[in-house]
């Protein structure tokens, strides 16, 4: 990964080190253009960084998520996936079949405004996951 990306400059300005692990994980996520679970990230990054542990990958992913450089999605049943923060978006996940769809952040703008009007809370989450049943699974579902 080149070290001239704006997010890397921001990390440096905040006093954080650009460790090989951070750079490699960001590189994998940036080039995947999708979601990866921590094991998949570990498998890809460990090819380039001998001695890397899964614990280091988890710690690094947590750090990168806290800094807003990667998004974490909760897929239910304790499953997490990560992706590079290319654009603000949300997810719809089917509880039955696991189908996942992206929702553009702009589609929730009205909901965020409604939250503000009703509660006074200014929502600043750029990533949320909603669970339900996809159209196909609804056909087979009976309450």
Residue at a domain's end among 86, 109, 127 = 86
Give the integer Cα–Cα distance in Å for 3 and 31. Answer: 15
Claim to verify: residue 72 and residue 11 sit in the same structural domain: yes
Indicate if the pLDDT at residue 143 is higher than 70: no
Reading the block at residue 54, the tokens are 């899964």
pLDDT digit string, tens, across residues 36-50: 999 999 999 998 898
Q: pTM for this one?
A: 0.69
Confidence of residue 61 (pLDDT cuts 50, 70, 90): very high
Number of domains in the chain: 2
Of 63, 75, 65, 36, the C-alpha closest to 126 is: 65
Compute the residue count for the chain: 143
For 108, the domain range is: 88-143
Claim to verify: residue 46 and residue 93 sit in the same structural domain: no
Beta strands in 1-143 (DSSP E): 70-76, 79-84, 89-94, 100-104, 129-132
Confidence of residue 1 (pLDDT cuts 50, 70, 90): very low
Confidence of residue 142 (pLDDT cuts 50, 70, 90): low
């Amino acid at each position: 990964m080149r070290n001239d990306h704006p997010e890397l400059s921001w990390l440096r300005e905040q006093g954080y080190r650009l460790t090989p692990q951070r750079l490699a994980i960001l590189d994998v996520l940036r080039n995947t253009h999708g979601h990866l679970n921590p094991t998949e990230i570990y498998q890809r990054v460990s090819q380039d960084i001998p001695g890397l542990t899964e614990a280091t990958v988890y710690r690094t992913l947590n750090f990168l998520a806290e800094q807003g450089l990667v998004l974490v999605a909760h897929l239910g049943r304790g499953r997490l996936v990560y992706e590079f923060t290319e654009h603000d978006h949300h997810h719809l996940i089917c509880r039955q079949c696991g189908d996942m769809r992206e929702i553009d952040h702009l589609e929730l703008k009205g909901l965020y405004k409604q939250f503000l009007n009703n509660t006074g809370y200014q929502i600043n989450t750029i990533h949320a996951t909603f669970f339900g049943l996809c159209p196909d699974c609804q056909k087979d579902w009976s309450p």
